């Protein structure tokens, strides 16, 4: 089981290097785990008090701040961080890790300042972020793809056909976009998938008890890394019960307990109770306005999920699993395979799918948070759909199969752009007003792929933050800036990826094979061109509220938003356009300064009523940052009128 062939090594290194080249750092999620790493291995404590303003993904308990993430990622990353720290301090430099506070940009959330971006992060931390990302998610994701390849040999005999599920799961599912960020999902998924693989071998191929404890340990560790994997762990217990082997079940549970034990000890060290989790104590200075408060005692989960959310999670373009990976639709057919000898495995997979969808649809932030790609919480069922997918492939027309694979790959490749929030307001960490209304109906919230990701993908290709960063003379994988914005070097990342693939697979490539591939797949190229046109409708543009905006409100005329003393809107436009807006001031006359891409373009005197004061200015093609600044600052309604409103208001905008 542990032996690795030459071909398997090539598969592993292929995906590790590709994922490595495409890594990037999105923001709050990573900083939460990074803060815990620095606290534990620099200061010897679990509190992140010295780093809490790095992120909004934080908890507050008994006067201290904590990461709200499962701690496993921070601990398995320890060897990377401590090794780099030793090299940096003893062999390279001995400078401090302090941050230049003059270059910190803040975001205000519920009147609480949170670091949005640090211009001059010290070299140690920047390279730490690179190393932590490069040698965690890409590494474990490549191992996961290798595991899928090894598992497929039990059901697919021809070597070349075994590459089909490898291509599907490595490039046509969310495994791809989450293989290149410092997130818990793919790492936890590898551990629990390996657990299932060991159980399958032990129960189906070589009946033995020796490795069952290891399978349980791996499943428990997956929970330590990402708590949502408890769904798969529970389903694995059901899987063992179906085989009616009591000693196997006991061994697995023992191993699982040992794997979960670090999480319990972590909880006990903080709360004095192993069953308390940091997520229960989200910092209410940030999260008080969210639906989490209603479900605080159940860690944000409801027993009665919204049925409309299930539609959003499965088929709708905002976060639909089958929209982002339509190839997985084929797997549904496999559950109706009556002739299979693997009914217990299909039952395990079906239980995992149903339970995960049920649990996530009842979660207060089912969409996964601001500015993240696809239904990320459903990633835990993806490798397990391999079995029903294989059963279904034989029943599907080959051309249809290829078309679905191409569509899935294009959609997930488009996720290799700068991640942004669409119909989510990072300033309040919730779905915006219009989106929440749509969730209570059959209306579509939005289509991030069509509105943002795919047009940018056609412009830039897959982005390689590390390559662009190095060419810019630094190592900085954060999403804030890219060297080749505005298509200065479109599809630049494909050059090193293509050269690497040719070097590794050159013996498997020939001109004859390439010509045959083109000849046999003409229809696929035609469908691909049509799909590109469909997903890049001319005139599509995407804009989102970025800094210091309050939640959307509505009056008898239309919806509007208030800002504090300054706020920004970030707009991606497919061509030059004129932007128009209508504004009013709060409580008194104020001067509004409007900056477009750091250039002052307008000074407006605005009265405290909707007086049709309007302005318009030209946007450039590509990314635009529009910043609004109140010269007289903002006022708190509670202090100037009979109100309980504690927001600090300056201007409101509508009809942008």
On the question of pLDDT at 362 being above 60, the answer is: yes
pLDDT over 50 at 619, yes or no: yes
For 519-530, what is the mean pLDDT?
A: 71
Which DSSP symbol is given to 147? H
Q: For residue 561, list its beta bridge partners.
A: 653
Bridge partner list, 60: 65
DSSP annotation of 363 reads B
Does 540 have pLDDT greater than 50? no
Q: What is the 3-state secondary structure (H, E, C) of 603-653?
A: EEEECCCCCCEEEEEEECCEEEEEEEEECCCCECHHHHCCCCCCCCECEEE
SS3 65: strand
Whether the per-residue pLDDT at 169 is higher than 90: the answer is: yes
pTM for the complete prediction? 0.84
Indicate if the pLDDT at residue 618 is higher than 80.
no
**Mean pLDDT confidence for 300-325:** 92
- Hey, what's the torsion of the CAs at 144, 150, 154, 157, to 10 degrees? 120
**pLDDT at position 575:** 60
Average pLDDT for 146-168: 91
Distance CA 457, CA 449 (A): 10
Cβ contacts of residue 20 below 8 Å, gap of 6+?
A: 134, 138, 466
With beta carbons less than 8 A apart as the criterion, state whether 415 and 177 touch: yes
**Residue of 584, 586, 569 lying closest to 624 (CA atoms):** 569
Task: Print burial letters for 65-78: b (CB count within 10 Å at least 16), e (below 16).
Answer: bbbbbbbbbbbbbe
Whether the pLDDT of residue 154 is over 80: the answer is yes
- Assign 145 a pLDDT band (cuts: 50, 70, 90): very high
- Tokens representing 389 are 């997918």
**Residue 302's Cα: distance from chain center in Å?**
22
Q: Is pLDDT of 651 > 50?
A: yes
Lowest mean pLDDT among 57-61, 252-256, 333-337, 558-562: 558-562
Q: Give the pLDDT confidence score for residue 518 in this predicted structure.
A: 65
The CATH class, in words, for 542-654 is mainly beta
Between CA 437 and CA 423 the distance in angstroms is 11
The residue among 581, 653, 594 whose CA lies nearest residue 626 is 594
* Long-range contact pairs involving 58-63 (C-beta distance under 8 Å, separation at least 24): 58/32, 58/282, 58/283, 58/286, 59/278, 59/279, 59/280, 59/281, 59/282, 59/283, 60/281, 60/282, 60/283, 60/284, 60/285, 61/270, 61/271, 61/278, 61/281
Alpha-carbon distance of 41 to 85, in angstroms, equals 10
**Position 516 pLDDT exceeds 50:** yes
Instruction: Kindly report, as residue ranges, where domains of CATH 2.60.120 are found in the chain.
Output: 542-654
The tokens describing 360, both together, are: 């996530």
The pLDDT of residue 600: 86
Q: Which residue shows structure tokens 């047009």?
A: 455
pLDDT of residue 143: 97
Whether the pLDDT of residue 538 is over 50: the answer is no
CA 642-643-645 angle, 5° bins: 155
List 627's β-bridge partners, or say none: 568, 595
Q: Confidence band (pLDDT; 50, 70, 90) for 81?
A: very high
Q: Is the pLDDT of residue 402 over 70?
A: yes
Cα Rg, the chain, nearest whole Å: 26
Using CA atoms, how far residue 297 sits from 268, 278, 280, in Å, is: 18, 12, 7
Residues 574-611 pLDDT 10s: 566 677 778 889 989 999 998 887 788 888 889 887 76
Among 19-28, 525-534, 602-611, name the one with the lowest average pLDDT.
525-534
Of 24-33, 190-199, 363-372, 591-600, which has the strongest mean pLDDT? 190-199
Express each pLDDT in 469-504 by its tens digit: 888 888 889 887 676 665 567 788 888 888 888 888
The pLDDT of 91-99, averaged and rounded, is 60
Work out the average pLDDT over 169-191: 96
Predicted pLDDT at 542: 46
**What integer pLDDT is reported at residue 132 of this predicted model?**
97
Structure tokens at 272: 């004095």
Which tokens hold the place of 500?
Answer: 């690497």
Look at strands 104-109 and 112-118 and give their pairing. Answer: antiparallel
Least confidently predicted of 3-17, 244-258, 443-457, 605-619: 605-619
Q: Does the pLDDT of residue 151 top 80, yes or no?
A: yes
Mean pLDDT, rounded, of the chain: 85
């Amino acid at each position: 089981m542990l032996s690795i062939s030459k071909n398997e090594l090539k598969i592993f290194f292929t995906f590790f290097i590709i994922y490595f080249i495409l890594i990037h750092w999105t923001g709050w999620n990573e900083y939460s785990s990074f803060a815990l790493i620095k606290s534990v291995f620099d200061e010897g404590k679990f509190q992140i008090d010295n780093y809490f303003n790095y992120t909004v993904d934080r908890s507050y308990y008994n006067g201290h701040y904590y990461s709200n993430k499962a701690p496993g990622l921070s601990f398995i990353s320890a060897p990377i961080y401590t090794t780099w720290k030793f090299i940096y301090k003893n062999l390279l430099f001995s400078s401090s890790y302090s941050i230049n506070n003059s270059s910190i940009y803040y975001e205000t959330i519920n009147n609480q300042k949170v670091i949005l971006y640090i211009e001059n992060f010290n070299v140690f931390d920047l390279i730490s972020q690179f190393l932590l990302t490069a040698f965690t998610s890409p590494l474990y994701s490549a191992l996961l793809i290798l595991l899928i390849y090894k598992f497929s040999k039990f059901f697919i005999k021809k070597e070349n056909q075994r590459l089909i599920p490898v291509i599907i799961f490595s490039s046509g599912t969310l495994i791809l976009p989450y293989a290149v960020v410092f997130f818990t999902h793919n790492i936890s998924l590898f551990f629990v998938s390996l657990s299932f693989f060991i159980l399958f071998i032990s129960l189906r191929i070589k009946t033995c008890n020796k490795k069952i404890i290891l399978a349980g340990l791996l499943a428990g560790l997956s929970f330590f890394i990402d708590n949502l994997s408890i769904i798969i762990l529970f389903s694995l217990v059901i899987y063992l019960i179906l085989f009616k082997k009591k000693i196997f079940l006991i061994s697995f549970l023992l191993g699982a307990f040992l794997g979960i034990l670090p999480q319990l000890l972590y909880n006990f060290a903080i709360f004095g109770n192993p069953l308390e989790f940091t997520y229960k104590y989200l910092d209410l200075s940030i999260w008080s306005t969210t639906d989490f408060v209603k479900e605080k005692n159940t860690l944000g989960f409801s027993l009665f999920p919204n049925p409309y959310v299930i539609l959003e999670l499965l088929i709708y373009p905002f976060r639909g699993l089958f929209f982002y990976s339509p190839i997985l639709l084929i797997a549904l057919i496999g559950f109706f395979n009556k002739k299979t000898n693997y009914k217990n495995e299909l039952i395990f997979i079906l239980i995992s799918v149903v339970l995960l969808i049920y649990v996530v649809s009842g979660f207060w932030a089912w969409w996964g948070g601001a500015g993240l790609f696809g239904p990320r919480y459903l990633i835990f069922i993806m490798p397990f759909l391999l079995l029903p997918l294989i059963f279904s492939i034989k029943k599907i027309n080959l051309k249809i199969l290829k078309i679905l694979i191409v569509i899935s790959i294009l959609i997930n490749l488009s996720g290799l752009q700068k991640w942004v929030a669409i119909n989510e307001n990072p300033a309040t960490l919730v779905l915006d007003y219009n989106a929440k209304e749509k969730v209570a109906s059959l209306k579509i919230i939005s289509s991030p792929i069509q509105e943002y990701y795919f047009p940018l993908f056609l412009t830039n290709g897959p982005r390689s933050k590390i390559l662009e960063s190095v060419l810019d003379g630094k190592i900085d994988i954060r999403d804030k800036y890219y060297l080749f914005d505005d298509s200065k070097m479109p599809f630049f990342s494909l050059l090193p990826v293509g050269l690497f693939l040719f070097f590794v697979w050159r013996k498997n490539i020939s001109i004859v094979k390439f010509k045959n591939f083109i000849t046999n797949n003409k229809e696929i190229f035609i469908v691909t061109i049509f799909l590109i046109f469909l997903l890049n409708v001319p005139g599509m543009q995407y804009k989102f509220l970025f800094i210091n905006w309050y939640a959307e409100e509505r009056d008898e005329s239309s919806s509007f938003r208030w800002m504090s003393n300054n706020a920004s809107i970030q707009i991606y436009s497919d061509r030059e356009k004129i932007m128009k807006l209508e504004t009013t001031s709060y409580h008194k006359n104020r001067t509004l300064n409007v900056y477009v891409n750091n250039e002052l373009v307008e000074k407006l005197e605005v009265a405290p009523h909707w007086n049709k004061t309007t302005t318009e200015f030209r946007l450039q093609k590509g990314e635009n940052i529009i910043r609004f600044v109140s010269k007289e600052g903002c006022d708190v309604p509670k202090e100037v009128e009979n109100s309980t409103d504690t927001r600090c208001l300056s201007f409101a905008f509508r009809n942008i």
